[in-house]
Structure 1
Amino acid sequence: MRTDIFARLDREPEPPKIVAPRMSRHRIALFGGTLAFYLAIVWAVLITSWLVALDWKVMLFRPYQQWPELHAFLDYYVVLGQRGPTAVMVACWLGWRSWRQHTLRPLLVLGTSLLLLNLSVGAVKLGLGRLGPHYATQIGSAEMFAGGDIFPSGHTANAVVTWGILAYLATTPRARRYLSAVSATVSLGVGLTTVYIGTHWLSDVVLGWAAGLLILLALPWFEPLIARTETWIFAMREQWRERRDGARPAPAAGSGAGPGSGPQPVLLPQSMATDGLAAETVTAGVEPVLPAGHPAPGARARAHGGHPVRPGALPVAPAGVRRPTPHTERGTRGTGSPARPMTGG
């Protein structure tokens, strides 16, 4: 039984019946309604309608002066809408999920959503060029096409997309409902915080909410591309592994000491020489020819704990080392001891 925690986390398959969302009629209707609302906000600001007047009323109210005790906390809270810190936090969580489930889809969905966010929101920001409240030049003016880049609010749109991805990738309906409520609360708070600090008009925030929601609603259209990208990445990984394994040198055949080491010479036991086999050097890995009924040296070694212990025989010399010359006064087995001189009377 394996108790290693990494062995438990090595693979946790994605729960069953989890499929990528599809662009249903309900989602298409939501996307169309959000897009119409987005265009209406842009048009209302362009024609300097009542929405621009509301922007100026909120700005001149100066919320940061009305509740100064909240300023220190909201300065930190607004970081939840900055693209860099939030992307790193969410990417770490989704990367851990990808590792556990052996899929790249969470990270690819996050990357796709951030790319769409940069392209869509960035293009509108630069195209409309609206100035922020701190740089406004004329009271009641929409401050459009003046070289600014705050319409729509990037903080708000990024909060909607980054935290909304967690709800989009949720694996159960219950988790999706909870995460949707959390992401909506965070993005709503981030948008209102930028209005409180005075870095955005109220209409900037409203358009940022719509911009982020459009990206989340459009993600199912990109699911086939995400799936093909994941398949291509895994295929490239397999090709790289094959090239890496093919570049490794193959171990020499019959070598037991390691790759590249050739056959090692060994010596036969002396006891085998007394049975008619001369002690000679043989090649490791090649079985010597033994007379009938003579046990193999490997079998005798295993029977005695790995070392031949036949009485009167010397142990096998290590590979590549010549055994010492036997004592001259010891005769061959079976021939008897040499004659000793008689003493005494």
Structure 2
Amino acid sequence: MRTDIFARLDREPEPPKIVAPRMSRHRAALFGGTLAFYLAIVFAVLVTSWLVVLDWKVMLFRPYQQWPELHAFLDYYVVLGQRGPTAVMVACWLGWRSWRQHTLRPLLVLGTSLLLLNVTVGAVKLGLGRLGPHYATQIGSAEMFAGGDIFPSGHTANAVVTWGILAYLATTPRARRYLSAVSATVSLGVGLTTVYIGTHWLSDVVLGWAAGLLILLALPWFEPLIARTESWIFDVRERWRERRGAGRPVRAPQGAPEPVLLPQSIAAEGAALAAGAGAPGAHLATGARVRAHTVPTVCPERPAVAPAGTRCAQPEHGSRGAASPAHPMTGG
């Protein structure tokens, strides 16, 4: 018995057709506005504007010293923004969704979003090289191009993308509203938690929110690629099934008679009779010929009694009416 996910997909009832979202004008406008906001944050930090001053004020305020009773709880809460644990939790849920909906789209959307997240956020982190609050060297400095990797906040962007995927894949407007509220609350809390424990500047968190939202807004552009990838995976599965089925020997059920091969002429005549051709009296003769070819009678060389209806050659006794050979005379 097959236990892979494809076997389970085949046994489930067909779900209603799910329509993938397209890049509408409203979504495109949101993407453009978020991108402009993203670039404005980067520019404000590069020129050491008022945003950098606010970063230093929050850092010197040291929230973890102002409210130390929250530290133990927030150390666990910030895990909701770590890529590894959150990806596993969301992948388990979306795997169940794939099983129920007969589609790999939820898992492919998650993989696409995480790939975009790693490429875009990772490239900006390494390119700008900003140092974190714990490693700052000069008060009031933006700490850019110093070998760091905290701008934008990866925890915050990952929380926006990972939990926002649930709202993106929701199939009803009500579920989409609820999941959007949950993902926004979680990502907001994760971002502020990193500021509380002092691992990120406030501007890191703001840019992380924008970076994650850009990925969610851009996903409809990748829906055609996701659909082609899903179709290709299912095509590969079907070809693999065909090859595995062709190489498996077919076993006849126990107790079934073994097939008997008929001569080509007899098989052709039987097919013609099945189609309605031939004289009515030919069926019996053909049946006799088929039985004769199917179950041949094996005769012994010298049968004691020849069974009736057989064509076995009998020992030679001469032709009828011929004189029998003379027997030798005995006696005097």
Which residue number in structure 2 is paired with residue 310 of structure 1? none
Which residue, 250, 254, 257 being the options, matches 1:256? 254
Q: Tell me how far apart the structure 2 counterparts of residues 163 and 37 of structure 1 sit (CA, whole Å).
A: 22
Amino acid paired to 2:21 = P
For 1:139-288, list aligned pairs within 5 A: 139-251=139-251, 256=254
Given that residues 117 and 215 in structure 1 are in contact (C-alpha distance below 8 angstroms), is that contact kept between their aligned partners in structure 2? yes
Given that residues 133 and 200 in structure 2 are in contact (C-alpha distance below 8 angstroms), is that contact kept between their aligned partners in structure 1? yes
Given that residues 160 and 209 in structure 1 are in contact (C-alpha distance below 8 angstroms), is that contact kept between their aligned partners in structure 2? yes
How many residues matched?
257
Q: RMSD over aligned Cα, in angstroms?
A: 2.4
Which residue number in structure 2 is paired with residue 26 of structure 1? 26
Runs of at least 4 residues of structure 1 off by over 2 A? 7-10, 12-16, 255-258, 286-289
Q: Tell me how far apart the structure 1 counterparts of residues 9 and 223 of structure 2 sit (CA, whole Å).
A: 30
Given that residues 9 and 100 in structure 1 are in contact (C-alpha distance below 8 angstroms), is that contact kept between their aligned partners in structure 2? no
Which residue number in structure 1 is paired with residue 275 of structure 2? none
Which residue number in structure 1 is paired with residue 65 of structure 2? 65
Given that residues 81 and 187 in structure 1 are in contact (C-alpha distance below 8 angstroms), is that contact kept between their aligned partners in structure 2? yes
* Residue aligned with 1:137, SS: coil
- Structure 1 residues 180 and 43 mapped into 2: Cα distance closer, same or farther (>3 Å)? same
Given that residues 21 and 220 in structure 1 are in contact (C-alpha distance below 8 angstroms), is that contact kept between their aligned partners in structure 2? yes
Task: Give percent identity, aligned residues only.
Answer: 87
Matched, 1:124 2:124: yes
Q: Tell me how far apart the structure 1 counterparts of residues 168 and 109 of structure 2 sit (CA, whole Å).
A: 9
Given that residues 86 and 162 in structure 1 are in contact (C-alpha distance below 8 angstroms), is that contact kept between their aligned partners in structure 2? yes
How far is 1:14 from its partner?
Answer: 3.4
Which residue number in structure 1 is paired with residue 304 of structure 2? none
How far is 1:29 from its partner?
Answer: 0.3
Q: Tell me how far apart the structure 1 counterparts of residues 77 and 296 of structure 2 sit (CA, whole Å).
A: 81
Which residue number in structure 1 is paired with residue 12 of structure 2? 11
Given that residues 153 and 207 in structure 1 are in contact (C-alpha distance below 8 angstroms), is that contact kept between their aligned partners in structure 2? yes
Q: Tell me how far apart the structure 2 counterparts of residues 163 and 13 of structure 1 sit (CA, whole Å).
A: 27
Given that residues 98 and 106 in structure 1 are in contact (C-alpha distance below 8 angstroms), is that contact kept between their aligned partners in structure 2? yes
Residue segments in structure 1 that go unaligned for 5+ positions in a row: 1-6, 264-285, 290-345
Point out which structure has higher relative CO (alpha carbons under 8 A, 6+ apart).
2
Given that residues 9 and 99 in structure 2 are in contact (C-alpha distance below 8 angstroms), is that contact kept between their aligned partners in structure 1? no
How far is 1:100 from its partner?
Answer: 1.1
* TM-score for both structures, normalised by structure 1: 0.71
How far is 1:11 from its partner?
Answer: 1.8
Which residue number in structure 2 is paired with residue 112 of structure 1? 112
Given that residues 129 and 149 in structure 2 are in contact (C-alpha distance below 8 angstroms), is that contact kept between their aligned partners in structure 1? yes
Write out per-residue CA displacement over residues 201-222 of structure 1, whole angstroms, 9 at most, x where no aligned residue. Answer: 0000000000000000000000
How far is 1:87 from its partner?
Answer: 0.2
Given that residues 153 and 204 in structure 2 are in contact (C-alpha distance below 8 angstroms), is that contact kept between their aligned partners in structure 1? yes
Q: Tell me how far apart the structure 2 counterparts of residues 89 and 128 of structure 1 sit (CA, whole Å).
A: 31
Point out the structure with the larger helix share.
Answer: 2
How far is 1:101 from its partner?
Answer: 1.1
Given that residues 10 and 100 in structure 1 are in contact (C-alpha distance below 8 angstroms), is that contact kept between their aligned partners in structure 2? no
Write out per-residue CA displacement over residues 16-63 of structure 1, whole angstroms, 9 at most, x where no aligned residue. Answer: 5x3100000000000000000000000000000000000000000000
How far is 1:288 from its partner?
Answer: 11
